[in-house]
Amino acid sequence: MSKTAFSGKEGFSQFPNEFFRELLNEIDDLDELKIILYALWRVVNMEGASHPLWEADFAEGLDAVDIASGLEKCVQRGSLLKVTFEADEDVYFINSPRGQVSAEAARESGWVPSKRRSAPPLLRPNIYKLYEENIGPLTPLLADSLKDAEEEYPAEKIEEAILLAVKANARKWSYVEAILKRWKEEGYGKKQNRQDSEKDRNRYVEGDYADFLD
């Protein structure tokens, strides 16, 4: 894999405290470190209950040599649980309560996890950078508000709301927040066509949300 310069873009995923308390100081092999970090990153961004990882999932981000060596060492250490099926296919689970139950079900009952792989998480602009590039300078008070919003609303909805504020020439966080609150109340699954979107824009600019534009 060719080396490329780090872009410096920000994006975050949650990692279990046990990785830093128990594993990090014990791992002295780069391949093993790559595999467990990649596995944790994929799992925390996956939907569903079992969170299986097939070898092909690792191939989307790592070299084949790193994968073979790293997987073996993670299994030996016990950070990953491996289940081998009759077709000599291996599936891996993080060694956690969820992963232990999933691995036991696969071994004991013959349950085969779906091979429908979860795509790696999309690289989205950091919320602070997104705000500064589209709305304005970031103050400490606004930074706290953005952090709270990131925990309460989906990242893609925050991005949509900010872009809607830009189109409406309403570059204020209070405006963006009003949109997000309304979307959450009405349900994010609501479909909108172009006409509905235009009505929404007018509603925010001229109607109940006009007070947020002063």
Residue 116 lies in a domain: no
Confirm whether pTM is higher than 0.75: no
Alpha helices in the chain (DSSP H): 17-18, 30-44, 55-59, 64-77, 97-109, 127-134, 140-152, 155-167, 173-186, 194-206
Q: What is the mean pLDDT of each run of 10 residues along the chain (214 residues)?
A: 61 77 92 94 80 88 88 96 85 92 89 71 73 88 88 88 90 92 81 50 49 42
Q: What is the dihedral of CA 176, 181, 186, 188, to 10 degrees?
A: 60
| pLDDT score, position 196 | 52
| pLDDT score, position 130 | 87
Radius of gyration (Cα) for the chain, nearest Å? 22
Together in a domain, 102 and 23: yes
Range of the domain at 199: 127-213
Together in a domain, 133 and 203: yes
CATH number reported for the structural domain that contains residue 97 in this entry: 1.10.10.10
What are 211's two structure tokens? 């007070």
The number of domains in the chain is 2
| pLDDT score, position 85 | 85
